Amino acid sequence: MGSHNCNSCDKNDCNEENCIHTLPNWSVAKSSDRQWQLYSWVVWKRMPSHKTCMRKFIITVFTLGFLTVVTYSQDAVKPGSAGFDLKRENIARGNIDTITYESKTVGTNRRALIYTPPGYSKNTRYPVLYLLHGIGGDEKEWLNGGNPQVILDNLYSDGKLVPMIVVMPNGRAMKDDRATGNIMAPDKVQAFATFEKDLLNDLTPYIEKNFPVLNDREHRAIAGLSMGGGQALNFGLGNLDMFAWVGGFSSAPNTKQPAELLPDPEAARKKLKLLFISCGASDGLIGFSKRTHDYFEKNNVPHIYFIEPGVHDFKVWKDGLYMFSQLLFKPVDPSTFSKYPVAGAPAATNIRNGAYPQIMTDSRVKFSIKAPEAKKVQVDLGRKYDLTKDENGVWTATTDSVSEGFHYYSLLIDGVALADPASESFYGMGRMASGIEIPFAGGSYYALRNVPHGDIRIKKYFSRVTNSWRQCYVYTPPAYDSNATARYPVLYLLHGGGEDERGWSQQGKADLILDNLIAAKKAVPMIIVMMDGNFNGGFGEQSLKNFENELKQSVIPFVDNNFRTETGANSRALAGLSLGGLQTLYAGLKNTSMFSQLGVFSSGWWSNQPALSDPQYEFMKNNAAAINSNLKTFWISQGGKEDIAYNNNKIMMGRFDELGIKYVYSEYPGGHTWPVWRNNLFNFAQLLFK
């Protein structure tokens, strides 16, 4: 190195290699108590030889040590500001190299990348971070997509990082470990689990034999993104004798169930230095991070749970590395863990680029609306919540946890019910209203997936019953157009009161439910007709009669004439929710020669309107044998005791029992809501036309 002019020593013959003042960011170390532990052990390895340097060094160290003991504190680390991942000029840099190690686990030589920090010396022993990639990557994924060397170099330049070695291996432990072909093939997925043995028995011993590293658990960390995040949690928490620092960024479905992941919470509390879990709020895989966090929180295992706005991409993962690396191999203050924010994700039902409403990870909903002139603002989402106004005229509130699926809501501004301009609007409650979709882990059956999709067609027809033009929505299954000779059975599917023919396709996601069922071969390909069931008279006898006439005289003939249907009762089903359930009871049971399968969702004859219900029961009494013979399926369901139709439904089924009418009953909790009816369709459709 040669001599240099040491401003701190006021000497011009100080040896640069040994002088403590030439250590990276010494000036930062002097001013930041959080750097004390970092520089204390680096200095121990690089003790200055110059006497004046030594004397000033000892004084400084004792001063820093005293201040650390007295004033030590730690704030939550924040995501990187603009430019944190961009290469800076005129700073010291680390090196990226490729290493090859013998893997007895795989039976071949394998490669990994290794990052050594600025000022790397074989005479210094370093802690190690093992940094893992995702299912579509390899040992170069972090390098190509995340610029880890740039992020780490910049952090060293800012004096925020303990010098460490970072190993980026290929986590697909198989002889052909390239990310080519079907990356989801079973053998390739299994290779990610096999990597645990390769990591513990082959790679780690190689690193510790060939590089100057500290080889105890307190100086060994593991983290990863997506599939690598699942590996980091599985391997790190499964080997607490090897790793004291564990980080999962957007961990994937390979993450073990929490109880399997951490069967001994007490051991984790004692051995873990840091557990860091992060994810993007709009990441479809957030549920795996959430369930892990919930379990650890329930079992009092200290950890950081950080959710930021974002999806499943390198923006989130680079923030994860930036934050996690700053916390490694130095004192960690668990009291700061609660300071890490949990961001909400914009609801899928928001208009384009709408930031609010936001759905929190615990299914609470945050609303925000600017109404500076308003005196009072509320949101009605099943119950009413008061919003609080800030100095900029923005009103905000966060609800209690909201159940799964689709829910209507309204803004109440000075007592006037309005649709939220930040949300898509849906026809429900007898008017255009806002709606919000609350995701949940079991919602995959109505998710948009990579399967063949059918079509929703809007068809207009002339009604002789109403003497007017009306319209219906018609779902045709995948391959309807390409297979021009195939004919299909038909389900006539009815909406509830205050809704119309749009309900089942928009709020109910009927098309996606059937697409997924047909792709899984759980449902017969079928046509679904969603007609407008609104007629003058509401829920009364005349309205029900008008519906029956419309169905028989207008809709069924129109559908049979314009679509390739299979005709006859065995190829025709009728089902509906709420009002649509009453219509199904009224028209379906009277016409079992036209329908062989009926579904009644959250509905039942009113016990306090015998003038309407008694004639129906009388008809069933006189025709019980024919009804039971003709109906292959009579399926009744509701949303549990909180369903407003629950009592009427129970009374009705009691009457059916007295009359000898055969039916099947099902119950799905959730009340009188679309989440219940989606589930009803999912189950009912699997019974049809078989």
357, 446, 502, 530 from 508: Cα distances, Å: 20, 9, 9, 11
CB 227 within 8 A of CB 221: no
Residue segments in the chain with a per-residue pLDDT below the cut of 70 = 1-74, 537-538
Q: Are 402 and 364 in contact (CB under 8 A)?
A: yes
pLDDT digits (tens, 9 = 90+) for 388-414: 999 999 999 999 999 989 999 999 999
Torsion on CA atoms 339, 342, 363, 369, rounded to nearest 10: 100
Strand ordering across the sheet containing 394-398 = 345-346, 358-359, 365-370, 394-398, 388-389
Give the C-alpha separation, 260 to 256, whole Å: 6
Query: Beta strands 377-380 and 384-386: pairing type?
Result: antiparallel
Q: How many other CB atoms are found less than 10 A from the CB of residue 179?
A: 16
Q: How far apart are CA 319 and CA 315, in angstroms?
A: 6
pTM above 0.75, yes or no: no
CB atoms within 10 A of CB 313: 14
Query: How many other C-beta atoms lie within 10 A of the C-beta of residue 647?
Result: 13
H or E element at residue 6:
strand 3-6
Q: Where are the beta strands (DSSP E) in 424-523?
A: 425-428, 431-438, 455-463, 468-476, 490-494
Q: Which two structure tokens, joined as six digits, stand for 12? A: 């011009």
The CA distance from 266 to 336, in Å, is 21
User: Which residues does 80 contact at the CB level (< 8 Å), separation at least 6?
Assistant: 151, 318, 319, 322
Residue with tokens 């840099």: 93
C-alpha separations of 40 from 443, 562, 625 in Å: 53, 83, 90
φ, ψ dihedrals at 386, nearest 5°: -80, 135
Residue 142: which residues within 8 A CB-CB, separation 6 or more? 113, 131, 133, 148, 168, 225, 321
Q: What is the pLDDT of residue 52?
A: 41
Q: For a pLDDT cut of 70, what percent of the chain falls above it?
A: 89
Backbone angles phi, psi at 687, to 5 degrees: -90, -15
- DSSP string over 419-439: --TTB-EEEETTEEEEEEEE-
Cβ atoms 290, 284 nearer than 8 A:
no
Task: Express each pLDDT in 280-329 by its tens digit.
Answer: 988 889 889 989 998 999 999 999 999 998 899 999 999 999 999 999 99
Structural contact between residues 188 and 174, judged by C-beta atoms closer than 8 angstroms: yes
* pLDDT tens-digit series, residues 42-92: 333 333 444 444 433 433 333 333 333 323 346 899 999 999 999 999 999
DSSP structure string for 533-588: ---TTTTSHHHHHHHHHIIIIIIHHHHHHHS-BPPSGGGEEEEEETHHHHHIIIII
CB-CB contact of 586 with 544 (8 Å):
yes
Burial class (CB in 10 A: 0-12, 13-18, 19+), 250: buried
% pLDDT > 90, the chain: 82
Identity of the residue numbered 195: F
3-state secondary structure of 445: helix
What is the per-residue pLDDT for 111? Answer: 98
Helix H or strand E segment including 530 = strand 527-531
Residue 603 near residue 632, CB atoms below 8 Å: no
Predicted pLDDT at 362: 82
Residue 74's pLDDT is 63
Contact criterion met (CB below 8 Å) for 350 and 344? no
Could you identify the residue written with the tokens 């629950």? 646
Decide if 676 contacts 642 (C-beta within 8 A).
no
Q: List Cα–Cα distances, 353 to 85, 186, 460, in angstroms.
A: 26, 38, 33
3-state DSSP of 629-669: HHCCEEEEEECCCCCCCHHHHHHHHHHHHHHCCCCEEEECC
**Residue 159 near residue 238 (C-beta atoms within 8 A):** no
432 phi and psi angles, rounded to 5 deg: -75, 125
What Å distances lie between residue 279 and 251, 312, 321, 606, CA to CA?
A: 8, 8, 12, 49
How big is the CA angle at 409 (ends 405 and 412), to the nearest 5 degrees?
Answer: 165
Beta bridge partners of 425: 434
Contact indicator for 213, 173 with CB cutoff of 8 Å: no
Predicted local distance difference test score (pLDDT) of residue 70: 29
